[in-house]
């Protein structure tokens, strides 16, 4: 491996994020090339310095000051043309239910035979039978007399 190609992989090599075969090739080059070895050491020192650095944490005072300057919005409830979305969904579900039940009624409750009403007129008996219930139809103008 030549210097130019080695330098391309040096950063990944220091971070140990290269395939083992490539790592062996870089190792072999570093064993014979002082310049690349120095470059690798410099990158290694930089990475170590970053790893050892303390994470920046702002003081609570700074954090509260920044928080006061950033406007925080309240999360709005989901709306659909000004109406809460849950209400729209509930109404939609109701409509779907109505349509489904009406459709089922249309297919299930098919009346093949029309209702036949038999109207018979018989003379009133003088003596009613005891086991018979008779219904009388009376014209509306005669209701007051009954």
Residues forming contacts to Zn ion in the complex (CB under 5 A) are 3, 33, 36
User: Which residue's CB is nearer to Zn ion, number 44 or number 88?
Assistant: 44
User: Which residue's CB is nearer to Zn ion, number 34 or number 127?
Assistant: 34
What's the CA angle centered on 15, arms 13 and 21, to 5 degrees? 35
Q: Please state whether 134 falls in left (phi above 0), alpha (psi between -120 and 50) or beta.
A: beta
d(CA 24, CA 11): 15
- State the nearest-atom distance from the C-beta of 66 to Zn ion, in Å: 47
- State the nearest-atom distance from the C-beta of 5 to Zn ion, in Å: 9
- State the nearest-atom distance from the C-beta of 68 to Zn ion, in Å: 55
Question: 84 pairs with which residues across the strands?
Answer: 79
User: Which residue's CB is nearer to Zn ion, number 28 or number 105?
Assistant: 28
């Amino acid at each position: 491996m030549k210097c130019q190609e080695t330098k391309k992989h040096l950063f990944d090599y220091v971070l140990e994020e290269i395939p083992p075969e490539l790592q062996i090739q870089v190792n072999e080059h570093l064993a014979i090339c002082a310049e690349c070895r120095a470059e690798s050491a410099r990158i290694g020192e930089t990475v170590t310095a970053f790893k050892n650095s303390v994470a920046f944490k702002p003081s609570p005072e700074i954090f509260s000051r920044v928080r006061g300057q950033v406007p925080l919005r309240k999360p709005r409830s989901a709306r659909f043309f000004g109406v809460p979305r849950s209400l729209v969904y509930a109404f939609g579900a109701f409509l779907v239910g109505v349509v489904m039940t009406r459709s089922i009624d249309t297919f299930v409750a098919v009346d093949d035979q029309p209702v036949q009403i038999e109207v018979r007129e018989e003379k009133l008996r003088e003596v009613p039978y005891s086991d018979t219930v008779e219904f009388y139809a009376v014209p509306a103008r005669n209701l007051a007399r009954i």
